[in-house]
Amino acid sequence: MADKKIAFVTEITPRSKDFSRWYLDVVKRAELADYSPVKGCMIIRPYGYAIWELMQQALDRRFKATGHVNAYFPLFIPESLLRKEAAHVEGFAPQVAWVTRGGDEELEERLVIRPTSEAIIGMMYAKWIQSWRDLPILINQWANVVRWEKVTRPFLRTTEFLWQEGHTAHETEQEAEEEALRMLGVYKDFAEQELAMPVIEGRKSESEKFAGAVHTYSIEALMGDARALQAGTSHHLGQNFAKVFDITFQARDKSVQHVWQTSWGMSTRLVGGVIMMHGDDSGLILPPRIAPYQVVIVPILRGNWQETILPYAESVRDELNAAGVRVTLDARDSYTPGWKFAEWELKGVPVRLEVGPKDIEKSQVLSVRRDNRNKVAFARKEVVSGVQTLLSEIQQDLFDRACQFREEYTVRTTSYEEFKKMMEGRPGFVISPWCGETICEAAIKAETQATIRNLPMSGLEVSATCVRCEAPAREQAYFAKSY
Amino acid sequence: MADKKIAFVTEITPRSKDFSRWYLDVVKRAELADYSPVKGCMIIRPYGYAIWELMQQALDRRFKATGHVNAYFPLFIPESLLRKEAAHVEGFAPQVAWVTRGGDEELEERLVIRPTSEAIIGMMYAKWIQSWRDLPILINQWANVVRWEKVTRPFLRTTEFLWQEGHTAHETEQEAEEEALRMLGVYKDFAEQELAMPVIEGRKSESEKFAGAVHTYSIEALMGDARALQAGTSHHLGQNFAKVFDITFQARDKSVQHVWQTSWGMSTRLVGGVIMMHGDDSGLILPPRIAPYQVVIVPILRGNWQETILPYAESVRDELNAAGVRVTLDARDSYTPGWKFAEWELKGVPVRLEVGPKDIEKSQVLSVRRDNRNKVAFARKEVVSGVQTLLSEIQQDLFDRACQFREEYTVRTTSYEEFKKMMEGRPGFVISPWCGETICEAAIKAETQATIRNLPMSGLEVSATCVRCEAPAREQAYFAKSY
């Protein structure tokens, strides 16, 4: 048994050797997700889903604290409704799934499975909103959406995925803009505080913005292979959907006006982001705040361990549990401690506690950090406070390490020769001046595979000419190869 | 403004006059749900969704406490997979939605939108389960499902609905049976403790069991119009799916065996059940444990109320909040207190607190119960404990009242003449002896519209002959007209 399992754990491709292979191995071996019989659809297994549940709770708390409420809109959108907003349908129609039959009958009108819900929600808002007193409307939805993807990868790009989509309506342009930025801030805070994932906030270029938006903001993170990942987006929709769906209200001055809207979303793709940002050759490394188990206790199986070591381990578990630490005790006797160490490292549990005869003798517990493998013995009486401190430190250290990595992999250049050379490898973020023209952006993408991730909010100064053309630069852009 | 709104509140049809109309009015006016442009699909509005969220949390807590974990399986099921289990496909194929196109291409194989997930989950379990060490598997999923319904009604029967579906696999038949009964017990406990909804536990007859199950258990509740509602079901699937999907494991004795399975589900239909069980002519009455707001504070708008009454009301709100009571303060100045009373009664908030100049003078707060309109003044210092006690009492009283109602509307008869006569009206539950034959059951349904709700677990004694035919009765059955 033990032999079979050791082989199982070591089946992971080293991260340094093949990042993409390593990613798929971790997803599979840590039992985060599995492939389904439907092309491009994954199964989120319990361990992966537990991570998503913790992310959901942390996001939902933030949504409610900023005045949002949840609701649920239908999975189906009539074709005619999707077609109302021209840019929106152009962006989404090529990648939707079509329902053409219900029960025994051919449908008179085809239904789209929602790729996003602006259309159906817009139609309902038109019905619900009468007066400025009804505004703002601040609704979020937790749901599944479907986009018919050609190339898929678990969590990162799947035909069906889980997400939340916020949809708000406001009296004024300024309020909508503030909301779009507020939610971008919520996303940044969530990514950095919960996922230990430093992100760059910025505005998307015209060519990368959401189909139907006035402008799109995003947060972008740098993964362990120095590719960028779009971690969340927040759109200012202006009055585009309001005009199409006739969402009007009687204003304070009695005039009839169209509402101003936003929408914003984050998805299960973030589980993939966490894997790629923190993991190493031994597997997953989970930030404590989203770890299903923050601590695993492994008893050393010596002599009559079930009478001596097990009760000691159980009392440690119960204390941690009572203090609100998510802890599991691995008391299986068919596996060696060494095998268990490897399995729980693969699963990324932040802290391992080892309990052996010597530890009991010294009235202590040995702690091992997953991220740097540092070992520290805690006196038995101080296990709870010791573990709590350790978990905070790990959370902070993972964030700091990711910041440092990003710094190392962020470069600036104004020379296109240098830019092209860099993009032959994987330079991370390259900050370069850009003329603001879509044609130039497209040429850069075609010539180097790099895209503009976003135009940072921090307002980097620019006095140069565009990295590619002769025109004066309008702003600095974050370029990268991305997921 | 006030006039328009008073009219709005009074638009509810009296419950006694037309129960069905009353139900739809409450759903609409209390902003629980709205109709969507897709036939049979509803929108769950924030107030309705908040009730569902509280139900979810209460159920999820119970699932986790009994060792279950959550996961997520795909929305799509390939047609060939659904067709594998003969009884299952026969039961569901007539009412599924079909996806035939993805993006620009016609699909080679049609996809079903899950009406339930036994097939796709069975296929994955076959992959995941190798040995008895992998058992039991205790997975639950929170998801949307689609059943193409011809006649729909918000919450009670909709084309798309939200639910949870548990799917477990076990080593032995006995363990599976225990699990099916354990989850039926969890459902009963949830319905009675959280929803204040007394239920009858029992086994479904052959003709009413789940397509593919060995047997189905259900809990059945009696609504305010004396119709029965199936509130939850738990199925013992035996080895039916295991054999079709080849879900085998190496047993302790090294033999290869098929697993034994269960599945069980509860849905948003329960929101409809709560409305129909507790509501009255003024609208919704919510059991405190699932009320989005347990308390509403309405300040009486006199004189300089914003300087005097408002701060007093705010301090009451803050104290209740801190004590974990879900409370809202309705400080809008464009509505009269009377109008607010009617609105919050419509929305079923269990306790209203009124704060006027006299209350401040006497250092008190006036409480009004939604269910029986009893008024009690609490000394300002005792508001929190007073409210907490009141909420517990209301929860219990609603349950007791529902039990009493059910007792009044449960009758027994062994005479088919009497049975038929009763069923011309709405007698509630009719307990009668039954021969156990499907043909006889079908005849009763055709002749009276009554169906067997279930065969109660309490093992009612039976020594008579079948209520309809001459044959000796096999058991007592709960008959009713149902939703």
Which residues, at least 6 apart from B108, have a Cβ–Cβ distance to it below 8 Å?
none
Residue A294 burial class via C-beta count within 10 angstroms: exposed 0-12, middle 13-18, buried 19 and up: buried
Distance from CA of B231 to the nearest CA of A (A): 21
* Contact in structure between B314 and B369 (CB atoms under 8 Å): no
Q: Which residue of B has its CA nearest to A76?
A: B38
Asked if B53 is an interface residue toward chain A (Cβ–Cβ < 8 A), one would say yes
Q: What is the pLDDT of residue A9?
A: 53
Chain A residues with CB inside 8 Å of B42's CB? 74
In the sheet that A295-299 helps form, which strands lie side by side, from edge to edge?
Answer: A327-329, A295-299, A351-355, A364-369, A375-379
Would you call A49 and B43 a contact, using CB atoms and an 8 Å cutoff?
no
The SS3 call for residue A443 is: helix
Helix axes B337-346, B2-9, angle to 10 degrees: 30
Give the one of B70, B74, B98 whose C-beta lies nearest to A53's C-beta: B70
Residue A357 dihedral angles phi and psi, to the nearest 5°: -55, -40
Chain B residues with CB inside 8 Å of A139's CB? 46
Chain B residues with CB inside 8 Å of A99's CB? 97-100, 113
Give the one of B43, B76, B139 whose C-beta lies nearest to A73's C-beta: B43
* Contact in structure between A433 and A414 (CB atoms under 8 Å): yes
What does the longest C-alpha to C-alpha distance in chain B come to?
84
Would you call B73 and A45 a contact, using CB atoms and an 8 Å cutoff?
no
Chain B interface, mutation test: which of A28, A47, A76, most B Cβ atoms within 10 Å?
Answer: A76
Q: What is the share, in percent, of chain B residues with pLDDT greater than 90?
A: 89
CA geometry: angle A166, B112, B482, nearest 5 deg: 85
Which residues, at least 6 apart from B56, have a Cβ–Cβ distance to it below 8 Å?
B142, B164
Q: How far apart are CA A33 and CA A11, in angstroms?
A: 17
For residue B378, the surrounding DSSP H or E stretch is: strand B375-379
Cis ω before A288 (30° cut-off from 0): no
Residue A331 burial class via C-beta count within 10 angstroms: exposed 0-12, middle 13-18, buried 19 and up: middle
Q: How far apart are CA A347 and CA B113, in angstroms?
A: 32
Q: Enumerate residues 328 to 347 of chain B having a beta carbon within 8 A of any beta carbon in chain A.
A: 334
Chain A residues with CB inside 8 Å of B37's CB? 78, 81, 120, 123
Q: How many CB pairs under 8 A join A and B?
A: 147
Q: How far apart are CA A288 and CA A157, in angstroms?
A: 25
Closest to B237 (Cα-Cα) out of B145, B118, B137? B118
The SS3 call for residue A440 is: helix
Beta pairing, strands B137-146 & B69-70: parallel
Helix axes A269-278, A383-408, angle to 10 degrees: 90
Chain A residues with CB inside 8 Å of B95's CB? 103
- The pair of three-digit structure tokens given for residue A266, joined into one six-digit string: 């984050």
* Contact in structure between A383 and A366 (CB atoms under 8 Å): no
* Contact in structure between A163 and A170 (CB atoms under 8 Å): no
Cross-strand bridge partners of residue B456: B202
DSSP string, B211-248: TT-SEEEEEEEE-TTS-EEEEEEEEEEETHHHHHHT-E
For residue A477, the surrounding DSSP H or E stretch is: strand A475-480
Chain B residues with CB inside 8 Å of A96's CB? 102-103
Would you call B37 and A120 a contact, using CB atoms and an 8 Å cutoff?
yes
**pTM of the predicted protein model:** 0.96
Q: How far apart are CA A137 and CA A117, in angstroms?
A: 15
* Contact in structure between B419 and B432 (CB atoms under 8 Å): yes
Would you call A34 and B97 a contact, using CB atoms and an 8 Å cutoff?
no
Q: Enumerate residues 250 to 289 of chain B having a beta carbon within 8 A of any beta carbon in chain A.
A: none
DSSP string, B45-83: -HHHHHHHHHHHHHHHHHHHHTT-EE-B--SEEEHHHHT
Q: What is the pLDDT of residue A303?
A: 84
Would you call A144 and B144 a contact, using CB atoms and an 8 Å cutoff?
yes
* Contact in structure between B349 and B339 (CB atoms under 8 Å): no
Beta pairing, strands A327-329 & A295-299: parallel
Closest to A120 (Cα-Cα) out of B47, B32, B103, B37? B37
| Radius of gyration from C-alpha coordinates of chain B | 25
The SS3 call for residue A481 is: coil
Residue with tokens 């404990």: B385
Q: What is the pLDDT of residue A7?
A: 46
For residue A70, the surrounding DSSP H or E stretch is: strand A69-70
Beta pairing, strands B200-203 & B248-250: unpaired
Q: Which residue of A has its CA nearest to B111?
A: A38
Would you call B102 and A97 a contact, using CB atoms and an 8 Å cutoff?
yes
Beta pairing, strands A351-355 & A97-102: unpaired
Cross-strand bridge partners of residue B33: B44
Asked if A161 is an interface residue toward chain B (Cβ–Cβ < 8 A), one would say no
Q: What is the share, in percent, of chain B residues with pLDDT greater than 70?
A: 97
Low-confidence ranges of chain B (pLDDT < 70): 1-10, 459-460
Give the one of A95, A124, A143 whose C-beta lies nearest to B103's C-beta: A95
- The pair of three-digit structure tokens given for residue A351, joined into one six-digit string: 């802290």
Q: Which residue of B has its CA nearest to A54?
A: B70
Q: Mark out the alpha helices in A258-382 (DSSP H runs).
A: 269-278, 309-322, 337-346, 357-361
Chain B interface, mutation test: which of A43, A124, A157, most B Cβ atoms within 10 Å?
Answer: A43
DSSP letter at B207?
A: G
Chain A residues with CB inside 8 Å of B50's CB? 69-70
ipTM strictly over 0.90? yes
Q: How far apart are CA A373 and CA A391, in angstroms?
A: 13
The SS3 call for residue A2 is: helix
Would you call A36 and B102 a contact, using CB atoms and an 8 Å cutoff?
no
Q: Which residue of B has its CA nearest to A32?
A: B71
Chain B residues with CB inside 8 Å of A114's CB? none
Q: Mark out the alpha helices in B263-336 (DSSP H runs).
A: 269-278, 309-322
Q: How far apart are CA B52 and CA B162, in angstroms?
A: 9
Q: How far apart are CA B53 and CA B56, in angstroms?
A: 5
Q: What is the pLDDT of residue B9?
A: 53
Closest to A196 (Cα-Cα) out of A410, A372, A400? A400
Long-range pairs for B343-346: beta carbons < 8 A, 24 or more residues apart:
B343/B5, B343/B9, B344/B296, B344/B298, B345/B282, B345/B283, B345/B370, B346/B9, B346/B12, B346/B26, B346/B29, B346/B30, B346/B282, B346/B283, B346/B284
- The pair of three-digit structure tokens given for residue A248, joined into one six-digit string: 């009007």
What separation in angstroms does the CA of A417 have from each of A422, A424, A431? 9, 11, 14
- Tell me the pLDDT of chain A (483 aa) as tens digits: 334 444 445 589 999 999 999 999 999 999 999 999 898 999 999 999 999 999 999 999 999 999 999 999 999 999 999 998 888 888 888 899 999 999 889 999 999 999 999 999 999 999 999 999 999 999 999 999 999 988 999 999 999 999 999 999 999 999 999 999 999 999 999 999 999 999 999 999 999 999 889 999 999 999 999 999 999 999 999 999 999 999 999 999 999 999 999 999 999 999 999 999 999 999 999 999 999 999 999 999 888 888 999 999 999 999 999 999 999 999 998 899 999 999 999 999 999 999 999 999 999 999 999 999 999 999 999 999 999 999 999 999 999 999 999 999 999 999 999 999 999 998 999 999 999 999 999 999 999 999 999 998 876 677 789 999 989 999 999 999 999
Q: How far apart are CA B373 and CA B356, in angstroms?
A: 18
Give residue-wise pLDDT tens across range B34-91: 999 898 999 999 999 999 999 999 999 999 999 999 999 999 999 999 998 888 888 8
Q: How far apart are CA B469 and CA A286, in angstroms?
A: 66
Closest to B11 (Cα-Cα) out of B368, B333, B24, B45? B24
Would you call B43 and A124 a contact, using CB atoms and an 8 Å cutoff?
yes
Chain B residues with CB inside 8 Å of A150's CB? 103
Closest to A345 (Cα-Cα) out of A96, A112, A12, A63? A12
Q: How far apart are CA B411 and CA B352, in angstroms?
A: 37
Q: What is the pLDDT of residue A373?
A: 97
Asked if B469 is an interface residue toward chain A (Cβ–Cβ < 8 A), one would say no
Would you call B160 and A75 a contact, using CB atoms and an 8 Å cutoff?
yes
